[in-house]
A and B are shown apart, each in its own frame.
Chain A
Amino acid sequence: MIDIKDLSVKVESTAILKGINLNIGPGEVHVVMGRNGSGKTTLAHTILGNPNYQITAGSINFEGKDISNLKTHERAKLGIFLGFQNPVAIPGVPVGNFLRTAMRNIYGDKYSAKELRAQIKDEAKKLNIDDNTLRRYLNDGFSGGEKKRLETLQLRLLKPKLSILDETDSGLDVDALKRVADSINELRNSSRSFLIITHYRKMLDLIKPDKVHVLIDGKIIKVGNLSLADLVEKEGYDSLIVDSV
């Protein structure tokens, strides 16, 4: 699905990622863990083509195609989705209008306006998002939990091939966390992949990832299965740094 090779990225003049290698196959769920400031969010935004992040070396191939020079909206149309850690508020743009616009851009003319509205309403209901929320302005005055729920709703509506979820589980109560995990598990199939950035072991129990990567100081220092997350939780990242040295 996505093949990242020797990826180095800088922001302004600061090197953040220093030779990342990551390959996620169709249907696989990978998790990236790491300390704050280690480069996890940079990796996510670089895959989406955020203009603030400059690739200095390496490549990103999606379904066999180099996407390094594609614009962000073109990557989204290919089926790459980023669930934001802290999505920006856009006052004046109602949630419902935004969702319809996004779906129209992703799906083209596949659905009529009426069908789009019905899908939005249906999926919103599953996440306990009411009609009033759909009329509110995008993330404007939303609590942390409401923002995360709206990101999850977009995930369900846009049904991307590769979903990158940047700490979508942070700050959620147990029920909300379960709803996010349920959405991931529901969408998960042989052609959809996930890259999940998280600090929390609980999320991993619910989604049971195929691989866990530990990212420290811009480099992936360890790859393993769920037991690697157990090790991190038990002994912290320092023990892994010592091992890798």
Chain B
Amino acid sequence: MSKHQIIQDNENKISGDRLSPLLPSKKEDAYRYFKFDYSKLNPNPGQLTQPKPNTNQTSIFENSLIFKENSKFTINSDVFDNFDFSASSSDFFIDRIYKNKSNRIGIRIAQSIPNETPEDDVVVLDLTEIQFDVENPIHIAIHAEKHSKGTLIIKWAENRPESELIKSGLLNLILQNGANLKIQSVQCLSAKTDAFIRTQAHLENNAVLELNLFQFGGHKTQNRVIANLAGHHSLLSIEALQVANQNQTIDLNLEANHLSPDTKSTMICTNIVDDHAETVFNGLINITEKATRSSAHQTNKNILLNEYASAYALPKLEIDTDEVECSHGSSTSTLDPEQIYYLNTRGVPEKEARQMLIDGHAFPLIDKIKHQNTKLFLQDYFANKTGLSNG
């Protein structure tokens, strides 16, 4: 088996060989460096197995979440059949949601969501206290039912700064017809942790999936997203912000498979790279023969703050039909001296001007987080990390 054949997915028939011929030699080295491989993950990640009875229950959600009538988030009864919060005639409160012993979390987003859901009404899934690694990966399954709507923040963090774990997590998303799901994934793992996070999404007719990916932490991390736009008029929007410094490698693989007509996808990835760090953006848009009248756009922007920092970009389109609107592009630059000069003319010193520009590349996406605690956490983390750059 070659080093790239480990990138294999039984369900989607995606193999590493499809990507590997395009990888630069340095990136191949980066892959080789990862000590874990996909084969150690659940061999059938699309299916949740029937769970064992819940023992060793751990609270993983923030306290005092308020769920209104016809609550959006309920525990998936297929996974945890002794919990059912879905039916209620009045408002109720949940302050605990449980995972089972085998690190499987099931969330069902129920039908009949009230139309006037407040913007900041989100659920935060904080994995800080959860023990998981490559041998025992965490597996989160979200099933958004027809015409449901919800926002979930997943916080990948740990409270052991010196851990040298290899962590892995799997996120399965199923969006039924008309479901509207926003996932904001915040990865702030410890500086010595290697991590692999994988997301698989299946979108039915008119489903909308918005993914905001914040990749800040870890030592060498790889995040791979495979989304199948299976239903007509389904829509995928991915915005990623990756901030790497010191000797980090942050690797993002995005793949949108357009399988039906009138589907739309956008991928925007911004990388801010300092010190000797490196980032990878590997984006694939695959428009199949059936996906007529589809549109897909892919943008990658890399900001290098240091002459030793590097960013690898592999935006790619595969189009097997006509009548599509597609674009892809990648740019790599340093901070714009003209912008710095403009700020200087307003009395802003060099260092502060550079920081303003760095913030300007990041804050528009961070501002999309409406949950105040998470937003402040991320802003602080970002400020501490990028504040190290003295230019």
Contact = CB atoms under 8 A, between A and B. Distances in A.
Contacts of B347: 73, 76-77, 102, 105-106, 158
Interface residues of A, number: 25
Interface residues of B, number: 24
B349 interface: yes
Top 7 nearest A-B pairs by Cβ distance? A92-B360, A105-B347, A102-B346, A72-B344, A76-B347, A93-B360, A73-B344
A93 B356 contact: yes
Nearest to A89: B339
B350 A105 contact: no
A105 B346 contact: yes
A84 B349 CA distance: 19
Contacts of B341: 50-51, 72
A154 B360 contact: no
A137 B360 contact: yes
A144 B344 CA distance: 22
Interface of A: 48, 50-51, 71-73, 76-77, 81-82, 84, 87-88, 90-93, 98, 101-102, 105-106, 137, 154, 158
B345 A72 contact: yes
A101 B355 CA distance: 12
Contacts of B364: 91-92, 137
Contacts of A91: 360, 364
A93 B340 CA distance: 12
A48 B338 CA distance: 13
Contact of A90 (B337, B339, B344): B339
Interface string B342-354: 1111111110110
Given A90-B339, A93-B356, A158 B346 contact: yes
Nearest to A48: B345
A241 B348 CA distance: 41
A50 B341 CA distance: 7
A4 B356 CA distance: 33
Interface in B357-381: 357, 359-364
B336 interface: yes
B345 A76 contact: yes
Given A101-B346, A154-B346, 12 more contacts: A73-B344, A73-B345, A82-B345, A84-B342, A90-B360, A92-B357, A92-B361, A93-B360, A98-B343, A105-B347, A105-B348, A105-B349
Interface in B305-363: 336-339, 341-350, 352-353, 356-357, 359-363
A79 B283 CA distance: 49
Contacts of A102: 343, 346-348
B203 to A, nearest CB: 30
Contacts of A105: 346-349, 352
A101 B348 contact: yes
12 contacts: A51-B341, A73-B349, A76-B347, A77-B347, A88-B339, A90-B356, A92-B360, A98-B346, A101-B343, A101-B348, A102-B343, A105-B346
B47 to A, nearest CB: 42
Q: Which of A77, A87, A101 neighbours the largest number of chain B CB atoms within 10 Å of its CB?
A: A101
Q: Which of A51, A76, A90, A106 neighbours the largest number of chain B CB atoms within 10 Å of its CB?
A: A90
Contacts of B350: 71, 73
Contacts of B336: 88
Contacts of A76: 344-347
A102 B345 CA distance: 9
Given A101-B352, A101-B356, A92 B362 contact: yes
Contacts of B359: 92-93
A158 B347 CA distance: 10
A101 B348 CA distance: 7
Contact of B357 (A77, A90, A154): A90
Contact of A93 (B338, B349, B357): B357
Contacts of B346: 73, 76, 98, 101-102, 105-106, 154, 158
A155 B102 CA distance: 63
A92 B382 CA distance: 15
B358 to A, nearest CB: 9
Nearest to A81: B345
Contacts of B345: 48, 72-73, 76, 81-82, 84
Interface string B204-223: 00000000000000000000
B15 to A, nearest CB: 38
Contacts of B362: 92
Interface in B257-281: none
Contacts of A92: 357, 359-364
A51 B350 CA distance: 12
A71 B349 CA distance: 9
B342 A90 contact: yes
Nearest to A50: B341
B339 to A, nearest CB: 5
B208 to A, nearest CB: 25
Interface string B37-73: 0000000000000000000000000000000000000
A81 B347 CA distance: 9
A51 B362 CA distance: 27
Contact of A71 (B337, B344, B360, B363): B344
B382 to A, nearest CB: 13
Nearest to A108: B347
Contacts of B337: 51
A101 B359 CA distance: 13
Nearest to B346: A102
